[in-house]
Amino acid sequence: MPHDAKAAKAGTRPGGRSARVRTDVVTATLAELTEKGYDQLTVEAICHRAGVHKATVYRRWGGVDGLIADALALSADQPWPIPDTGNVDEDIQLLAREVYTTFTDPDLRTTPTALIGAALRSDLGAAALSAFFTARHQQAAEVVTRAVERGQLPADVDPVELVRAATAPLYHRLFITGEPLDERAAHRAAAAALLAARAGLFDAPAP
C-alpha cells in the first residue's frame, strides 16, 4: 500500500480522524437525503451507511436537522468557482446560469435541491442556510469588485446586492413559488440586476 493511501486509511489526512468522520457522516446524510427524502431520513440509516456509532452522531450533531445544518456548513466552506471573463455582464450571466444548471440538470440537481428543501424544514437548517448564502454571496461579490476596479460598474454599487439580485429570482421560483425555472428566467435575472446596478439602484448606503 503506498504511503499516502496508508496515511489516509489510518485517518491522518489533513484535519485528522474527527474531520474524516465529519466528511463520512455528511456524505452519508446527503446520500440518504437524496435517495429517501427528508421525511424518511433517519440517524440510524445514516450511521449504517457511514459506519459510525449512533451515539457519536447524536452527541456531535443532535439529530437529522443538525446533520443537514452541518452539510450546509461544509458546503459553505467549499470555494465556489467564480467566473472571471473580464466582462462583468458575462460574469453575472454565468453566475445566474450556474444556479440554473445546478438546479435543473437531472444529474446535478437532486442533492442540492434536497439539501435546501430539507434546510427549510427546521430552524437549525434555516440558520445554516442563511450562513451558507452569506458565504456564497460574499465569495461571488468578487466579480463585482473586480468590475468596479475595471470601471465597468459604478464605484458605489453594493457587490453583494448585485449578486443577490442576479440569483434570488431563481431560488424564489425553485423554493418558494415552485414555478418552473428556464434559461430565460436565469438570463432575465442577471440582465435586470446589471441594469439596476448601472442605474444606481444597488448603491451601498452612505456610511
Binding site for a second copy (CB under 8 A): 116, 120-121, 126-127, 129-130, 133-134, 161, 164-165, 168-169, 171-172, 175-179, 184, 188, 191-193, 195-196, 199, 201-202, 205
Distance CA 158, CA 200 (A): 10
Nearest alpha-carbon partner for 38 in 1, 9, 67, 81: 67
Q: Closer to a second copy by CB, 82 or 168: give it.
A: 168
Q: How far is the CB of 176 from a second copy (least distance, A)?
A: 5
What minimum distance in Å lies between the beta carbon of 50 and a second copy? 26
Pick from 179, 7, 65, 118: nearest CA to 110:
118
Looking up cell 459506519, which residue turns up?
A: 51
Minimum gap (Å) between residue 9 Cβ and a second copy: 40
With H, G, I as helix, E, B as strand and everything else as coil, classify residue 157.
strand
Q: Which is nearer to a second copy, 33 or 116 (CB)?
A: 116
- Minimum CB separation from a second copy for residue 83, in Å? 21
Q: Which CB sits closer to a second copy, 49 or 121? A: 121
Report the residue number, 84 or 179, with the smaller CB distance to a second copy. Answer: 179
Alpha carbon of residue 18 to chain centroid: 23
Distance of CA 33 to the CA centre of its chain: 16
* Contact between 162 and 145 (Cβ < 8 Å): no
